[in-house]
Amino acid sequence: MATLTTRRFRPAAEVTPASGETARPTDSAPVRSFRSNVAGRVVRTAATRMAVVVFCLVAWEVVARSGIISKALFPTPLETWQSARSLWRTGVVGSDLRASLGRVAVGFAIGATVGTAIGFATGYSKACSAVLGPIITFLRPIPAIAVVPLSTAWFGIGQKGKYFIVAYAVVLAVWLYVHDGVARIPPVYVRVARGYGLRPIKILGKIVLPATGPSIVSALRYGSSVAFLALVAAELGGAQNGIAYRLQVDSQFLQTGRIFVGLIELGILGVAADFLIATVGNRLVHWSST
Amino acid sequence: MTSTADSAMTSNEMTVASHNSAVGGAPRSEAIFLEQASVTYRSKRSGELTVALAATDVTFEAGSFTALLGPTGCGKTTLLNAVAGFVELTSGCVRIGDRKIIKPGPDRAVVLQQYALMPWMTALANVEMALERFQLSRSERAARARSFLESVGLGGAARKYPGEMSGGMQQRVALARAMAAEPSALLMDEPFGALDAITRIAMQRLLMQLWSQTTTTVLFVTHDVNEALDLAERILLMSPGPGRIVADLDLRHSDLRTNALEREKMYQEILGYLLPA
């Protein structure tokens, strides 16, 4: 402590190097340690995730072998992997993925667009909120699976019905987040913009839209998870292919290995969709990452 | 001394005076009149009425610099917000020049303690926003915004986002934005309250420099007696319960900036008003 104090109060001339430049800590050392810290953190995070995956696989193996649950009904990781390989080789996985992804993508695109648009309308305009708010509030507790019979009556069991069900669920999910985001914009932004004489259309595009950006990213992330929930409802309600359709067929033949494959597919797709939206979204709303 | 961004603005190479109006001619300044203006709030929960500003008559001359000084709840911010058009009057009226104020407008630029910069816009885009109404060409608008950033010593930070700037830098962007709008009046609500003491002094000097080179009427809300004494030509002392003006001090012909004794006397006089025995 004593040495630190003396050093601090040494006259400036003594700490200034001969060149006349102000004394500065050497650049390289702290920068390197900072970088290695970052790299270390990335490695540690990846290692932790790997450890979790390995732990789950081991636990799964142990439970499957223990016979707590009948071995016929609870496949080991290896048996599941073998089911996946045979499904892949026969082309079932590929065609199911294509079918399901297509339904999710189209339904999500429609639902996200409509949900965002309505969210803006009801969040921005009190009149829109008064008209549409009660309708949406009424629909929100009605789950996608309850809409399946109506969808079948209207659209049959073709693709349109699947899009409808997914879009229905996504609209409601996305609307809530976007509406809330628009309604919660700090009033000072709009106030300042109005004060500088921006016209309403400019305020919408330059202030309200970007200010809602972070909420839209959240809305789309939540919407994508809801899309997969609705997809399962739609495919269980009548389809000729798709991941959830396959789950139902496999269930009738007690092919639990194949069922596990289907469930894992759904999980991976959900994670991938969320990752994609979060990565692209957070880059677009970079200012709100703090 | 190192030339950090925060100290660079005190250098002598400022070019504020070179700004001509975007619409041609010198930016005008206008007087502000409050005539029996009062603001009463009703509490949403209890329905209780609070007189934030009792009926007030006051005139702010064109091009003057007035500090509104008082403790929390004295109505100084309410008075400022009434001029800004942010609050509705319960009675009376506020005019700027010959226009009655009913809503916010680009003739009155507001600078708040929380900067109120758009975090998704660069410093340059934030300033450009204030130029929107002049309908300049895109390149002209950018050049003009850049010159205002330069006038607050931030020429090099045009592409930075508010989140990448210190509080002092953000407030300078807000000041550049306000000046770029060529307001008749500049309304400042504790603009330097969130800044550290050194940065605050630098900002006060910058403000005085900008003001001396324009003709803008300034209303400056503060609860800092020294800040009011350092900056203003006139101090309105305000007091709560109900919010009202209790004294009107004209400092134009005083020599407070050079006469420490005189300044101390004035300081004590102000405290006498604000802390009645």
DSSP-derived secondary structure for chain A: -HHHHHHHTS-HHHHS-TTSPPP---SHHHHHHHHHHHHHHHHHHHHHHHHHHHHHHHHHHHHHHHTSS-TTTS--HHHHHHHHHHHHHTTHHHHHHHHHHHHHHHHHHHHHHHHHHHHHHHHH-HHHHHHHHHHHHHHTTS-HHHHHHHHHHHHTTSHHHHHHHHHHHHHHHHHHHHHHHHHTS-HHHHHHHHHTT--HHHIIIIIIHHHHHHHHHHHHHHHHHHHHHHHHHHHHTS-SSSHHHHHHHHHHTT-HHHHHHHHHHHHHHHHHHHHHHHHHHHHHTGGG--
With beta carbons less than 8 A apart as the criterion, state whether A239 and A245 touch. yes
Best residue in A196, A206, A290 for a mutation probing chain B (most B CBs within 10 Å): A196
Are B132 and A202 inside 8 Å of each other by CB? yes
Question: pLDDT (tens digit, 9 = 90+) per residue, A174-203?
Answer: 999 999 999 889 888 988 898 898 988 889
CA A170 to chain centre: 13
**What is the pLDDT, as a whole number, of residue A169?**
96
Contacts of B59 (CB under 8 A, 6+ apart): B31, B32, B33, B34
Q: What pLDDT band is residue A30 in, cutting at 50, 70 and 90?
A: low
A70 vs B: CB within 8 A: no
Are A195 and B132 inside 8 Å of each other by CB? no
Instruction: State the average pLDDT for chain A.
Output: 85
Instruction: Give the start-to-end residue ranges of the domains of chain B.
Output: 28-107+185-277, 120-182
In the CATH hierarchy, which top-level class contains the domain A83-288? mainly alpha
Are A22 and B129 inside 8 Å of each other by CB? no
**What is the pLDDT, as a whole number, of residue A17?**
45
Q: What is the ipTM of this complex?
A: 0.78
Are B118 and A207 inside 8 Å of each other by CB? yes
Are A192 and B116 inside 8 Å of each other by CB? yes
Q: Collect all residues of chain A within an 8 Å Cβ-Cβ radius of residue B112.
A: 188
Q: What pLDDT band is residue A33 in, cutting at 50, 70 and 90?
A: low
Instruction: Give the start-to-end residue ranges of the domains of chain A.
Output: 22-74, 83-288
Q: Give B161 or A6, the one with higher predicted confidence.
A: B161
Are A192 and B110 inside 8 Å of each other by CB? yes
Which residue of A188, A206, A210 is in closest CB contact with B116?
A188
Q: Collect all residues of chain A within an 8 Å Cβ-Cβ radius of residue B126.
A: none
Instruction: Looking at the complex, report in whole angstroms how far the Cα of residue A148 sits from the nearest Cα belonging to chain B.
Output: 42
B116 vs A: CB within 8 A: yes
B23 vs A: CB within 8 A: no
Q: Which of A93, A76, A63, A104 is nearest to A232 (CA)?
A: A104
Per-residue confidence of chain B (277 residues) as pLDDT tens digits? 344 444 444 443 444 444 666 665 555 788 999 999 999 988 888 888 889 999 999 999 999 999 999 998 899 999 999 999 989 999 999 999 889 999 888 899 999 888 889 999 999 999 999 998 888 899 999 999 999 999 888 989 999 999 999 988 999 999 999 999 989 999 999 999 888 888 899 999 999 988 888 889 999 999 999 999 999 999 999 999 899 999 999 998 888 888 899 999 999 999 999 887 6
**What is the pLDDT, as a whole number, of residue B253?**
85
Are B86 and A207 inside 8 Å of each other by CB? no
Q: What is the CA radius of gyration of chain B?
A: 19
**What is the 3-class SS of chain B, one letter each residue?**
CCCCHHHHCCCCCCCHHHCCCCCCCCCCCCCEEEEEEEEEEECCCCCCEEEEEEEEEEEECCCCEEEEECCCCCCHHHHHHHHHCCCCCCEEEEEECCEECCCCCCCEEEEECCCCCCCCCCHHHHHHHHHHHHCCCHHHHHHHHHHHHHHCCCHHHCCCCHHHCCHHHHHHHHHHHHHHCCCCEEEEECCCCCCCHHHHHHHHHHHHHHHHCCCCEEEEEECCHHHHHHHCCEEEEEECCCCEEEEEEECCCCCCCCCHHHHHHHHHHHHHHHCCC
Q: For the domain bounded by B28-107+185-277, which CATH number is listed?
A: 3.40.50.300
CA B3 to CA A273: how far, in whole Å?
A: 48
CA A30 to CA A176: how far, in whole Å?
A: 46
A188 vs B: CB within 8 A: yes
**What is the pLDDT, as a whole number, of residue A67?**
80
Instruction: Looking at the complex, report in whole angstroms how far the Cα of residue A197 sits from the nearest Cα belonging to chain B.
Output: 6
Best residue in A202, A287, A288, A290 for a mutation probing chain B (most B CBs within 10 Å): A287
A211 vs B: CB within 8 A: yes
**What is the pLDDT, as a whole number, of residue A200?**
87
The yes-or-no verdict on residue A42 having pLDDT over 70 is yes
Lowest mean pLDDT among A27-36, A251-260, B29-38: A27-36
Q: Measuring CA to CA, how many Å separate A78 from each of A81, A90, A236, B219, B273?
A: 5, 19, 28, 76, 85
Best residue in B7, B122, B129, B133 for a mutation probing chain A (most A CBs within 10 Å): B129
**What is the pLDDT, as a whole number, of residue A38?**
78
